[in-house]
Amino acid sequence: MAVRDGTPVLKILLLICFITFVKSQGHTPLTPPYFNLAQNREIIATSTCGLRSDGTPMPELFCRLTGGGDERDSTAEISNLPLIQGQLCDICDPSSRDKYHRAENAIDGTENWWQSPPLSRGNQYNEVNLTINFDQVFHVAYVFIRMANSPRPEVWVLERSIDFGKTWMPWQYFAGSASDCYKFFNAQADQRIQHDDDVICSTRFSKIVPLENGELNLTFLQIVVSLVNGRPSAMNFSQTMALQNWTKATNVRMKLLRTKTLQGHLMDIARQDPTVTRRYFYSIKDISIGGRCVCNGHADSCVRGDSLNPSILLVTVMDTQMNVCMMRK
Ligand SMILES: *[C@@H]1O[C@H](CO)[C@@H](O)[C@H](O)[C@H]1NC(C)=O
Ligand SMILES: *[C@@H]1O[C@H](CO)[C@@H](O)[C@H](O)[C@H]1NC(C)=O
Ligand SMILES: *[C@@H]1O[C@H](CO)[C@@H](O)[C@H](O)[C@H]1NC(C)=O
Ligand SMILES: *[C@@H]1O[C@H](CO)[C@@H](O)[C@H](O)[C@H]1NC(C)=O
């Protein structure tokens, strides 16, 4: 892939979201700081490339969706991968550090990635849950996802829990077409958001992958889900219960339902032709979840270990005299 590092994009995003959050406070001057809630959290995938369902290693072949042939020489990064029937292929192998594509890779801030089993293992691997568990409730402002060596998923749901994983509710649906929004979620596609807690079905992040010189363009590897911006009370967050409720989560889940395929491959997938199905899987390089503590008026309402120094606890408290949220060490 031509894609290297999306970090500048992420930084800009973080800044935009931060400014928005500060502005949305209206007249309250201070806000609890804002951080990447996904960092150092527990993350669990229901299945992972190279691992059996019981978690034991099982080296597994996969191939790139794009490429092979001439392209091989032009891309130094992958020039040592084997060509199998004209496809660039590699192995998921938990015994090798850089071929173990475990779930933790999606939140470790490195270029490593998580990868699901290719559909050559079975069509049921279209369905994979990737769950990030916080240990407390947070307000989530946005979720940013960057794919690695696969296109964005075609059909999936961003879900949240506010009871530590006992029950789940949808935050946003994603599908490649209006008919899939209807078929999978009984939802109309790309509706205008009218209420703070409207669950929309978005088609813009599941579009057909445009290939440029056989490469996936970075723009088409990213997903940005905004849970505050664009909602009616976005500028009045601190006084709007409905929006505050809407952004709350103790756990966040990507419920993946269908990989993006190239049109002509549908028949071959039905026939389980492995030269085609081993090219279909999910791979995620980064999940960042922008959010902050819930300040509900009770002292010590939010405790979090400092990510650089976990032994220091940061506590968000409501300063009742000033009526603002503050952080204390
Ligand atoms: C994913 O989670 C949902 C509940 O959110 C559950 O119904 C489904 O069975 C899970 N899928 C897999 C593949 O475990
Ligand atoms: C990627 O696609 C976008 C939107 O089509 C385009 O504006 C941008 O120039 C492309 N970037 C590269 C590096 O090709
Ligand atoms: C913010 O919301 C409160 C409560 O709903 C309302 O009274 C107030 O007018 C709103 N302020 C703005 C600027 O919309
Ligand atoms: C927000 O959530 C609380 C507790 O779950 C509930 O009692 C309240 O009615 C909700 N408010 C709105 C405006 O959704």
Q: What does the pLDDT look like over 124-138, one tens digit per residue?
A: 999 999 999 988 888
Lowest mean pLDDT among 60-69, 103-112, 257-266: 60-69
For 110, residues 6+ apart whose C-beta sits below 8 A from its C-beta are none
**Going by DSSP bridges, is the β-strand pair 283-293/128-147 parallel, antiparallel, or unpaired?**
antiparallel
| Residues 18/35, Cβ–Cβ less than 8 Å | no
Q: What is the pLDDT of residue 304?
A: 53
Place of tokens 């199998």: 84
Q: What is the pLDDT of residue 67?
A: 57
Name the residue ranges covered by the structural domains of the chain. 8-328
Query: Burial, 299: exposed, middle or buried (Cβ in 10 Å; 0-12, 13-18, 19+)?
Result: exposed
Residues 11-28, mean pLDDT to the nearest whole number: 41
Residues 43-52, mean pLDDT to the nearest whole number: 97
Lowest mean pLDDT among 68-72, 159-163, 200-204: 68-72
- Please check the confidence at residue 310 and state whether its pLDDT lies above 60: no
Distance of CA 87 to the CA centre of its chain: 27
Q: How confident is the model at residue 9 (pLDDT cuts 50, 70, 90)?
A: very low
DSSP code string of 173-238:
EE-SSHHHHHHHHS--BTPPP-STT--EEE-TTSPPPPEETTEE-GGGGEEEEESSTTSTTGGGGG
Q: Nearest residue CA, atom 4 of ligand 4? A: 245
Ligand 1 pocket residue status of 125, Cβ below 6 Å: no
Q: What is the pLDDT of residue 74?
A: 40
Q: What is the pLDDT of residue 138?
A: 87
- The atom number, within ligand 3, closest to the CA of 236 reads 1
Q: What is the pLDDT of residue 267?
A: 73
Place of tokens 């409720």: 245
**Domain 8-328, second-level architecture:** Sandwich (2.60)
Where helices occur in the chain by DSSP H, the ranges are 7-23, 71-74, 178-185, 241-247, 266-270, 274-277
Name the residue with higher pLDDT: 151 or 217: 151
Name the residue with higher pLDDT: 2 or 140: 140
> Which of the given ranges, 8-22, 62-76, 102-116, 314-328, has the highest pLDDT on average?
102-116
Q: Nearest residue CA, atom 4 of ligand 2? A: 219
Q: What is the pLDDT of residue 264?
A: 65
Q: How confident is the model at residue 324 (pLDDT cuts 50, 70, 90)?
A: very low
Residues 107-115, mean pLDDT to the nearest whole number: 94
Residue from 236, 238, 245 to probe ligand 3 pocket by mutation (most atoms less than 8 Å from CB): 236
- Please check the confidence at residue 191 and state whether its pLDDT lies above 60: yes
Percent of the chain with pLDDT over 90: 50
Percent of the chain with pLDDT over 70: 69
